[in-house]
Amino acid sequence: HRTAAVIPAAGRGVRLGPGAPKALRALGGTPMLIHAVRAMAASRAVSLVVVVAPPDGAPGVKNLLDEHALPERTDYLVVPGGETRQESVRRGVEALPGDITAVLVHDAARPLVPVETVDAVVEAVHAGAPAVVPGLPLADTVKEVEPRGKGEPEPVVATPERSLLRAVQTPQGFDREILQRAHGTVAAVGEGATDCAGMVERLGAPVVIVPGHEEAFKVTRPLDLVLAEAVLARRRA
Ligand code: C5P
């Protein structure tokens, strides 16, 4: 198997507050994207990292990768992204060379995923699983609601049994062919697949969950940045 990681990093990060695109914001003095690239390249199985940059930001992201020390056994590519995460991932997958057989898709917004988690996903794909997702049990009970206007009370429709739910993370790992088929199939693409594995599920292909890691959380809101800085400080101590 030859394995590549695609990192969608074209989001604006509106929920994080005003400032640079989310992937370019600093964590411990280094852009989140660089942490994410290093996290993928830390796995010896990953021979290529494709970064999907903001549509007008590819040259800047290329410079950023050149400026930072990255493992030399890994190749790096930068391609421009699209309007949605799904579109950005599709562009990253289209840029993969023909000899890549396994693909990880990893959010730039999960900069601190440990290499053990990356390796566990890669191993499951290499062992023959078409789609592999790291996930963790939920701390909160989850309710399905009838959405209403902002601040209005929302009627509860259902309460799924918490023990059956998993909060999923990235990197999600795929057999290259199945990921490409998912991105090329209208039924799978549809509206609102918020992760690639969801698109594979719509194809009817099996998706499995392996244990995720609490440090693979997504930096979305300002509080997540505080947590990420604390995790990094603990690692460096
Ligand atoms: O917004 P959210 O946190 O779900 O974004 C997840 C990942 O998808 C981020 O790394 C973000 O940069 C990326 N993304 C993208 N292109 C978009 C929107 C989001 O690459 N148009």
Q: Per-10-residue mean pLDDT for the chain, 237 residues long?
A: 96 83 92 97 98 94 95 96 92 97 97 98 98 98 95 96 98 97 75 81 95 97 96 94
Atom from ligand 1 closest to the CA of residue 220? 3
- Which uninterrupted H or E stretch holds 53? strand 46-53
Atom from ligand 1 closest to the CA of residue 84? 21
User: In this predicted complex, what is the ipTM?
Assistant: 0.94
pLDDT at 198: 92
Atom from ligand 1 closest to the CA of residue 89? 20
Q: Which of 205, 7, 216 is nearest to 125 (CA)?
A: 205
Name the residue of 33, 85, 169 whose CB sits within 8 Å of the most ligand 1 atoms, as the mutation to test its pocket: 85
**pTM recorded for the entire structure:** 0.95
108 CA distance to ligand 1 middle (Å)? 8
Tell me the C-alpha distance between 164 and 143, whole Å: 13
Provide the residue range defining the domain that includes 61.
3-236
Residue 106, phi then psi, degrees to nearest 5: -130, 130
Q: How many angstroms separate the Cα of 131 from the Cα of each of 61, 99, 113, 147, 225?
A: 29, 19, 18, 31, 29
Domain CATH number, residue 95? 3.90.550.10
pLDDT at 187: 60
Residues with Cβ within 6 A of ligand 1?
8-11, 22-23, 52, 81-85, 88, 107-109, 218, 220
Tell me the C-alpha distance between 42 and 44, whole Å: 6
pLDDT at 192: 61
pLDDT at 17: 83
Domain count along the chain: 1
50 residue type, one letter: V
